Amino acid sequence: MTMDPSAVHDVGTPPSRAWQNMVAVALAVLGFSAPLSTAGVAVALVALVVLALARAPAVWRLAPWKEPVMGAGLLLLAFIAAHTLWLSGWTETTLHTINRYHELLFAPLLLVLMQDARHRRLFVRALIAGAVLLSIVHWASLLEPELRDVLHSRRISAGFALAVCAFIVLMRARGAANPWPRRALSAFLALTVMYAIDGRTGHVVLLALASWAAWMHSPPRLRWASALGGPAVLIILAMSSSAVSNRLQETMSGTARSGPQHELSPTGVRVELLRLAGDLAREHAIAGVGFSNYAQAHERAALARHANDPAILQEYWIRATNPHNEYLMQLVGGGVLALLLFVTWLGLTFRAALRVPASAASAGMLAGVALAFAIGSLFNSMLMDFVEGHLYIALVAWLLAERRDPASDVPGHRDVRRVLVIATRQIGDVLLTTPLIRKVRGRWPGARIEVLGFSGTLGMLRGNADVDALVETPSRPGWLGLCALVARLWRRYDLALVTDPGDRAHLLGWVAAGCRNGIIPAASGSNWWKRMLLDQVVVAAGDLGTVHVATEKQSLLAALTDAGAEPATAVIPPAAAPLPAAASAALAPDAVVIHAPSMWPYKQWPLGHFESLVKALLADGRQVVLTGSAGERDQSCVAQLRALAPPPQLLDLSGQLDFNQLVTLFQGAALYIGPDTSVTHLAAATGVPVIAIFGPTNPMRWAPWPRRSDEPIAFVRAKAAQQVGNVTVLQSGLPCVPCGRAGCEDHRQSRSDCLIDITPQQVLEQARALLASRR
């Protein structure tokens, strides 16, 4: 879903300046309070709800619940509420339990109110200001024991909040004209977590985010070293921190009891909570005990496990209200369905993060914030904890609004540095991607454009000035080859354009880039997951459609630029290369080039027809040049023709020329005649007059794209002869033409009666007419 940042202002009376200012103030209060004041957060949320109700029609129009992350969060909240009411009824306790997850309800509201970029900037600045104040207070507590005692109970939320804020400040330094002030501020916040806060959650989250930030800041070849080296540096620094040393010592002690009261350490308490939660999970994993019933179930499990140790039953953790692990809280409270919804909600956040283009200002931040929350949920019930839950929700809403802002992160409205065009099909399909590539180059002149295709199919792009590199992969690479390809492509690109509707092409697009546009089949069982991976979907018209493939491919840019409204760009042939000396010497001006072979028998015009055509052209005094590949099928087709006359009157160049040399041959020829094959598309792109002999194929979809045309390029579905620009398409008059099938028997080795029906005399008449008009 794409939100228009101005849409909240478009319904009814425009919002007053006072309303906008109040939203800005409320978001600033929310940002400043998020790390340090639950009361400030509560006041800000109430104010934002009131302001949103004042613009309710505009909020409804934006439909923020259609954003998958927000929709999943609302579904999770609805399940928690329904499950709690079903098991416990309508009581004050159940309402209090449901209310502990209310941030899931506020998240879509925040997404709407953060559509204005100015409001987002104010929120972030206030958030960092609050984090700085919290850091200063924690450093001051080292000198004031009473203050330290007050802050000790908030060490978990403070460590988490400052670790996340340090990460955000560091990531915002990327691309800044002077990044060092932000890096210094990030270091200050990180050092606060390590040296001034005795909180294990903050330490672990900080290490994970340091690794992710190092990965994002490093060039591809150094990412693994940086991702491991960054945390290693922090660990070395942490060894000098008494806060970290105390935590490590306590953690190593495990469940051992110490002190005059012979009490468990905090680590020991965590272990006991996990054991009891495990007991409950094994017993209630299917339906759960109920979110409001967790404390009673926990106490019963403790009584059962420690029935022989009455002293333990007097300790405070026996009456815990949660297991200090959000995953177990969901599983025990609501059963496996609640856990599945929670994990799905987290997973959709990661998915949204992966769709942020690598060059966007917010690239990497959403993934880092989600990673921090996912790791923190291993040590705490993060959604139930006020500070952590509200901070996370506010950050997700901010980053999703950044991602959806057309003025910031959508590739059509910013600079794109690296583009991958995926063309994993046949040679002719690769050639028909060149108009799309030309439009990409026109939209982003400085971008690096690479094309991924199968080995042996990318020759049509060699020498293409719009392409910076070709990435070739075997059509069957094997597991090792596939892993190497994934490692090579992984998130190297800002934008992937998937021109092949196949499954593998779309998976490779997801691997390569955070933003992906792609073509999917009109009907396919795999379309559902392809749509999930794509930012823009183009549905293929199919073999009987009315949109030409070259035009269809160009529509991949329609949502990113205004390219969809422009005239279709010409197909770009490879750069011309000199012919072999012997061929060049034997070649006469205005020769007729005939390409007899077709890749598949169902597209093959009968060789007997070609033989009659060649004889007639030779009788007219024309030099005929035969082309084809060195492959066995092509050579068997050409062998039947090469004996019709000696060279140079009949010149056989099959197997001797690459695509670049074929361009030179076509540019000097008077006429080209060939079947529905890639070489015919290439000939049309060079500008030579082309006669394309079509059988079951629909020319509206697959006719060779003319090099030039005085009128809009539009072929009709069926006509004995139709000319557009330099391309003439010949078809049979049979009523079934074009059927769009693979021949009469619908397989590649099939015959096609419609091709047999096109006589050599029909082709000869068209050839003579074109040659006469050329003179």
Quote the pLDDT of residue 11: 40
Return phi, psi of residue 130, to 5°. -65, -40
Helix (H) or strand (E) holding 652: strand 650-652
Quote the pLDDT of residue 541: 84
Quote the pLDDT of residue 646: 92
Return phi, psi of residue 110, to 5°. -65, -40
Work out the average pLDDT over 6-25: 68
The 3-state secondary structure of 79-144, one letter per residue:
HHHHHHHHHHCCCHHHHHHHHCCCHHHHHHHHHHHCCCHHHHHHHHHHHHHHHHHHHHHHHHHCCC
Work out the average pLDDT over 575-583: 93
Q: Which two tokens stand for residue 82?
A: 């329904």
Work out the average pLDDT over 24-53: 93
On the question of pLDDT at 694 being above 50, the answer is yes
Report the C-alpha gap between 87 and 397 in whole angstroms. Answer: 32
Work out the average pLDDT over 261-286: 81
Query: With contact defined as beta carbons under 8 Å apart, do 349 and 396 qualify?
Result: yes
pLDDT digits (tens, 9 = 90+) for 457-501: 999 998 899 999 999 999 888 889 999 999 999 888 989 999 999
Helix (H) or strand (E) holding 730: strand 727-730
> Which amino acid does the sequence have at 282?
R
Q: Which residue has the tokens 């039947």?
A: 640
Report the C-alpha gap between 147 and 514 in whole angstroms. Answer: 45
146 vs 687 pLDDT, higher one: 687
Quote the pLDDT of residue 594: 97
Q: Which two tokens stand for residue 365?
A: 């931040």
Quote the pLDDT of residue 5: 41
On the question of pLDDT at 450 being above 90, the answer is yes
Query: With contact defined as beta carbons under 8 Å apart, do 586 and 648 qualify?
Result: yes
pLDDT digits (tens, 9 = 90+) for 338-364: 999 999 999 999 988 887 766 566 778
Rounded (10°) angle between helices 386-404 and 103-113: 30
Q: Provide the total of helices (H) and of strands (E) in the chain, helices listed first.
A: 32, 15
Compute the mean pLDDT over every residue in the chain, rounded to the nearest whole number.
Answer: 87
Query: With contact defined as beta carbons under 8 Å apart, do 748 and 742 qualify?
Result: yes
pTM of the model: 0.58
Helix (H) or strand (E) holding 519: strand 513-520
- 658-681: burial string, b at 16+ Cβ within 10 Å, e else: ebbbbbbbbebbbbbbbbbbbbbb
Report the C-alpha gap between 443 and 497 in whole angstroms. Answer: 14
Query: With contact defined as beta carbons under 8 Å apart, do 642 and 626 qualify?
Result: yes
Query: With contact defined as beta carbons under 8 Å apart, do 635 and 661 qualify?
Result: no
Quote the pLDDT of residue 200: 84
Report the C-alpha gap between 717 and 437 in whole angstroms. Answer: 27
pLDDT digits (tens, 9 = 90+) for 89-133: 888 889 999 999 999 999 999 999 998 888 998 999 999 999 999
Strands 263-264 and 671-675: unpaired
> Which amino acid does the sequence have at 166?
A
Quote the pLDDT of residue 564: 41
pLDDT digits (tens, 9 = 90+) for 382-440: 988 888 999 999 999 999 988 765 444 444 445 688 999 999 988 989 999 999 999 99
Name the strands in the sheet holding 671-675, side by side, starting at the edge strand that comes first in the sequence: 650-652, 624-627, 592-595, 671-675, 690-693, 727-730, 721-724
On the question of pLDDT at 690 being above 60, the answer is yes
Per-residue pLDDT band at 714 (split at 50, 70, 90): confident
Q: Which of 756, 712, 708, 709 is nearest to 734 (CA)?
A: 756
Q: Which two tokens stand for residue 413?
A: 């409205």
Query: By CB neighbour count within 10 A (0-12 exposed, 13-18 middle, 19+ buried), where does 754 fall?
Result: buried
Residues 6 or more apart in contact with residue 592 via CB below 8 angstroms: 617, 622, 623, 624, 625, 669, 670, 671, 672, 673, 767, 771
DSSP character for 595? E
On the question of pLDDT at 294 being above 70, the answer is yes
On the question of pLDDT at 630 being above 60, the answer is yes
Quote the pLDDT of residue 144: 87
Rg (CA), the chain: 34
Query: What do you get for the CA distance between the two ends of the chain, in Å?
Result: 57
pLDDT digits (tens, 9 = 90+) for 542-575: 888 889 999 999 999 886 655 444 555 789 999 9
Task: State the Cα angle at 156 between 155 and 157, rounded to 5°.
Answer: 95
On the question of pLDDT at 314 being above 70, the answer is no
On the question of pLDDT at 185 being above 60, the answer is yes
Per-residue pLDDT band at 74 (split at 50, 70, 90): very high
Quote the pLDDT of residue 6: 41
Quote the pLDDT of residue 9: 43
pLDDT digits (tens, 9 = 90+) for 715-770: 999 999 999 999 999 999 999 999 999 999 999 999 999 999 999 999 999 999 99
